[in-house]
Structure 1
Amino acid sequence: MDQLIVDTLVLDAARIDVDRIHSEFTEATARTDRLADAVGHAALAERVQAFADNWDHRRSELAEQLAVVRDNLAVIVDGFSQTDQELAKALTEQADTYPPRMAAVPV
Protein backbone atom coordinates (compact mmCIF):
# COMPACT_ATOMS: atom_id res chain seq x y z
CA MET A 1 0.00 0.00 0.00
CA ASP A 2 1.61 3.21 -1.11
CA GLN A 3 -1.05 5.73 -0.13
CA LEU A 4 -2.17 7.30 3.09
CA ILE A 5 -5.60 8.83 2.87
CA VAL A 6 -6.78 10.77 5.90
CA ASP A 7 -10.21 12.36 5.78
CA THR A 8 -9.69 15.34 8.06
CA LEU A 9 -13.34 16.35 7.69
CA VAL A 10 -14.42 13.06 9.27
CA LEU A 11 -11.85 13.47 12.04
CA ASP A 12 -12.96 17.05 12.67
CA ALA A 13 -16.61 15.93 12.73
CA ALA A 14 -15.64 13.32 15.33
CA ARG A 15 -13.92 16.05 17.36
CA ILE A 16 -17.09 18.15 17.24
CA ASP A 17 -19.20 15.16 18.33
CA VAL A 18 -16.84 14.36 21.20
CA ASP A 19 -16.97 18.02 22.25
CA ARG A 20 -20.78 17.89 22.31
CA ILE A 21 -20.70 14.71 24.41
CA HIS A 22 -18.16 16.37 26.72
CA SER A 23 -20.53 19.32 27.14
CA GLU A 24 -23.40 16.97 27.95
CA PHE A 25 -21.33 15.29 30.66
CA THR A 26 -20.14 18.56 32.19
CA GLU A 27 -23.63 20.12 32.16
CA ALA A 28 -25.45 17.03 33.43
CA THR A 29 -25.18 18.00 37.09
CA ALA A 30 -27.11 21.24 36.62
CA ARG A 31 -29.85 19.51 34.65
CA THR A 32 -30.15 16.72 37.21
CA ASP A 33 -30.55 19.25 40.02
CA ARG A 34 -33.37 20.91 38.07
CA LEU A 35 -34.95 17.51 37.41
CA ALA A 36 -34.87 16.63 41.09
CA ASP A 37 -36.64 19.90 41.86
CA ALA A 38 -39.20 19.33 39.11
CA VAL A 39 -40.39 15.82 39.99
CA GLY A 40 -42.71 17.15 42.69
CA HIS A 41 -42.52 14.10 44.94
CA ALA A 42 -40.01 14.43 47.79
CA ALA A 43 -39.01 10.75 47.89
CA LEU A 44 -38.56 10.57 44.12
CA ALA A 45 -36.60 13.83 44.16
CA GLU A 46 -34.29 12.33 46.79
CA ARG A 47 -33.76 9.22 44.63
CA VAL A 48 -33.03 11.32 41.55
CA GLN A 49 -30.57 13.45 43.53
CA ALA A 50 -28.90 10.36 45.04
CA PHE A 51 -28.47 8.84 41.59
CA ALA A 52 -27.00 12.10 40.29
CA ASP A 53 -24.63 12.36 43.24
CA ASN A 54 -23.39 8.81 42.68
CA TRP A 55 -22.66 9.61 39.05
CA ASP A 56 -20.90 12.94 39.68
CA HIS A 57 -17.48 11.39 40.18
CA ARG A 58 -17.73 9.00 37.23
CA ARG A 59 -19.12 11.72 34.98
CA SER A 60 -16.20 13.92 35.94
CA GLU A 61 -13.72 11.18 35.01
CA LEU A 62 -15.46 10.56 31.68
CA ALA A 63 -15.54 14.29 30.94
CA GLU A 64 -11.78 14.49 31.50
CA GLN A 65 -11.20 11.53 29.19
CA LEU A 66 -13.47 13.02 26.54
CA ALA A 67 -11.55 16.30 26.75
CA VAL A 68 -8.31 14.41 26.09
CA VAL A 69 -9.85 12.62 23.08
CA ARG A 70 -11.25 15.92 21.75
CA ASP A 71 -7.90 17.68 22.14
CA ASN A 72 -6.01 14.80 20.52
CA LEU A 73 -8.39 14.82 17.56
CA ALA A 74 -7.78 18.56 17.14
CA VAL A 75 -4.00 17.99 17.13
CA ILE A 76 -4.36 15.17 14.58
CA VAL A 77 -6.56 17.25 12.27
CA ASP A 78 -4.23 20.24 12.51
CA GLY A 79 -1.16 18.08 11.95
CA PHE A 80 -2.50 16.32 8.87
CA SER A 81 -3.93 19.55 7.44
CA GLN A 82 -0.62 21.35 7.87
CA THR A 83 1.32 18.42 6.40
CA ASP A 84 -1.05 18.28 3.44
CA GLN A 85 -0.59 22.00 2.78
CA GLU A 86 3.20 21.72 3.02
CA LEU A 87 3.29 18.74 0.66
CA ALA A 88 1.00 20.50 -1.82
CA LYS A 89 3.24 23.56 -1.72
CA ALA A 90 6.35 21.42 -2.28
CA LEU A 91 4.73 19.66 -5.24
CA THR A 92 3.63 22.97 -6.74
CA GLU A 93 7.12 24.41 -6.39
CA GLN A 94 8.61 21.25 -7.88
CA ALA A 95 6.21 21.38 -10.83
CA ASP A 96 7.42 24.89 -11.62
CA THR A 97 10.99 23.63 -12.09
CA TYR A 98 10.24 20.26 -13.66
CA PRO A 99 11.51 18.91 -15.93
CA PRO A 100 14.98 20.22 -15.22
CA ARG A 101 16.65 22.02 -18.08
CA MET A 102 19.22 19.97 -19.88
CA ALA A 103 22.54 21.40 -20.87
CA ALA A 104 22.90 21.87 -24.57
CA VAL A 105 24.75 18.95 -26.08
CA PRO A 106 27.21 19.98 -28.82
CA VAL A 107 26.55 18.21 -32.08
Structure 2
Amino acid sequence: MADLFIDFAALSRVRHDMDGISDLLSRPVDAMRTRAAGATGHDGLRQRLQEFGDDWDYGIKQLGKYSAGCSEALENIRTQFEKLDQELASAFEDQA
Protein backbone atom coordinates (compact mmCIF):
# COMPACT_ATOMS: atom_id res chain seq x y z
CA MET A 1 0.00 0.00 0.00
CA ALA A 2 1.40 3.40 -0.97
CA ASP A 3 1.58 6.31 1.41
CA LEU A 4 0.34 9.67 0.31
CA PHE A 5 2.43 12.60 1.45
CA ILE A 6 1.67 16.25 0.82
CA ASP A 7 4.48 18.70 1.51
CA PHE A 8 2.45 21.61 2.86
CA ALA A 9 5.52 23.84 3.14
CA ALA A 10 6.30 23.34 -0.56
CA LEU A 11 2.66 23.89 -1.43
CA SER A 12 2.71 27.13 0.54
CA ARG A 13 5.91 28.31 -1.20
CA VAL A 14 4.46 27.63 -4.65
CA ARG A 15 1.27 29.43 -3.69
CA HIS A 16 3.27 32.42 -2.45
CA ASP A 17 5.22 32.47 -5.72
CA MET A 18 1.98 32.37 -7.72
CA ASP A 19 0.67 35.33 -5.74
CA GLY A 20 3.73 37.40 -6.66
CA ILE A 21 4.03 36.65 -10.37
CA SER A 22 2.00 39.60 -11.59
CA ASP A 23 3.84 42.10 -9.38
CA LEU A 24 7.22 40.66 -10.26
CA LEU A 25 6.64 40.89 -14.00
CA SER A 26 4.74 44.19 -14.02
CA ARG A 27 7.69 46.28 -12.85
CA PRO A 28 9.98 45.56 -15.83
CA VAL A 29 7.10 46.02 -18.27
CA ASP A 30 6.21 49.39 -16.73
CA ALA A 31 9.85 50.46 -16.93
CA MET A 32 10.09 49.39 -20.55
CA ARG A 33 6.87 51.16 -21.50
CA THR A 34 7.56 54.42 -19.70
CA ARG A 35 11.28 54.93 -19.09
CA ALA A 36 12.65 53.16 -22.15
CA ALA A 37 10.11 54.81 -24.41
CA GLY A 38 10.75 58.21 -22.84
CA ALA A 39 14.53 57.85 -23.17
CA THR A 40 14.49 57.74 -26.94
CA GLY A 41 14.27 60.88 -29.01
CA HIS A 42 12.83 59.10 -32.02
CA ASP A 43 9.03 59.32 -32.17
CA GLY A 44 8.60 56.08 -34.13
CA LEU A 45 10.80 54.11 -31.74
CA ARG A 46 9.07 55.67 -28.73
CA GLN A 47 5.67 54.65 -30.08
CA ARG A 48 6.84 51.10 -30.83
CA LEU A 49 8.30 50.73 -27.32
CA GLN A 50 5.05 51.94 -25.79
CA GLU A 51 3.04 49.52 -27.94
CA PHE A 52 5.39 46.68 -27.06
CA GLY A 53 5.05 47.54 -23.36
CA ASP A 54 1.25 47.70 -23.68
CA ASP A 55 1.16 44.27 -25.33
CA TRP A 56 3.34 42.79 -22.62
CA ASP A 57 1.27 44.54 -19.96
CA TYR A 58 -1.83 42.76 -21.24
CA GLY A 59 -0.02 39.42 -21.20
CA ILE A 60 1.30 40.01 -17.70
CA LYS A 61 -2.19 40.85 -16.47
CA GLN A 62 -3.46 37.60 -18.00
CA LEU A 63 -0.65 35.68 -16.27
CA GLY A 64 -1.57 37.42 -13.03
CA LYS A 65 -5.19 36.41 -13.44
CA TYR A 66 -4.29 32.78 -14.10
CA SER A 67 -1.68 32.65 -11.36
CA ALA A 68 -4.27 34.00 -8.91
CA GLY A 69 -6.59 31.17 -9.95
CA CYS A 70 -3.75 28.69 -9.49
CA SER A 71 -3.00 30.12 -6.06
CA GLU A 72 -6.64 29.76 -5.09
CA ALA A 73 -6.68 26.15 -6.30
CA LEU A 74 -3.52 25.37 -4.32
CA GLU A 75 -5.10 26.83 -1.20
CA ASN A 76 -8.17 24.66 -1.77
CA ILE A 77 -5.94 21.59 -2.19
CA ARG A 78 -4.14 22.40 1.06
CA THR A 79 -7.41 22.93 2.92
CA GLN A 80 -8.97 19.71 1.62
CA PHE A 81 -5.90 17.58 2.35
CA GLU A 82 -5.58 18.98 5.86
CA LYS A 83 -9.26 18.23 6.44
CA LEU A 84 -8.83 14.70 5.08
CA ASP A 85 -5.73 14.20 7.23
CA GLN A 86 -7.65 15.21 10.35
CA GLU A 87 -10.54 12.93 9.44
CA LEU A 88 -8.17 9.99 8.91
CA ALA A 89 -6.39 10.69 12.21
CA SER A 90 -9.74 10.75 14.00
CA ALA A 91 -10.76 7.49 12.35
CA PHE A 92 -7.54 5.80 13.50
CA GLU A 93 -8.00 7.14 17.02
CA ASP A 94 -11.53 5.77 17.08
CA GLN A 95 -10.21 2.33 16.05
CA ALA A 96 -7.62 2.29 18.87
* TM-score of Structure 1 vs Structure 2, range by shorter chain: 0.7 to 0.9
Residue 35 to residue 61, structure 1, CA distance change in 2 (3 Å)? closer
* Identity %, equivalent residues: 31
Alpha-carbon displacement from aligned partner over 1:7-58 (angstroms, at most 9, x marks no partner): 1221111111111113324xx1697159724764444755543321121221
What is the one-letter code of the residue matched to 1:90? A
1:19 aligns to 2:30 (yes or no): no
1:62 aligns to 2:63 (yes or no): yes
Aligned partners of 1:34, 1:84: CA distance in 2, in Å? 48
Listed as ranges, the gaps of 5+ residues in structure 2 are none
Alpha-carbon displacement from aligned partner over 1:72-101 (angstroms, at most 9, x marks no partner): 111001111111112112222322xxxxxx
Give the greater-gyration-radius structure (CA).
1
1:79 aligns to 2:80 (yes or no): yes
TM-score with structure 2 setting the length:
0.72
Residue 82 to residue 8, structure 1, CA distance change in 2 (3 Å)? same
Aligned partners of 1:24, 1:59: CA distance in 2, in Å? 10
1:53 aligns to 2:51 (yes or no): no
What is the one-letter code of the residue matched to 1:15? R
Q: Indicate the RMSD between aligned Cα atoms, in angstroms.
A: 2.7
| Partners of 1:15 and 1:70 within 8 A in 2 | yes
For residue 84 of structure 1, give the secondary structure of its aligned residue in structure 2.
helix
Structure in which a larger fraction of residues adopt helix: 2
Aligned partners of 1:7, 1:55: CA distance in 2, in Å? 34
TM-score with structure 1 setting the length:
0.66
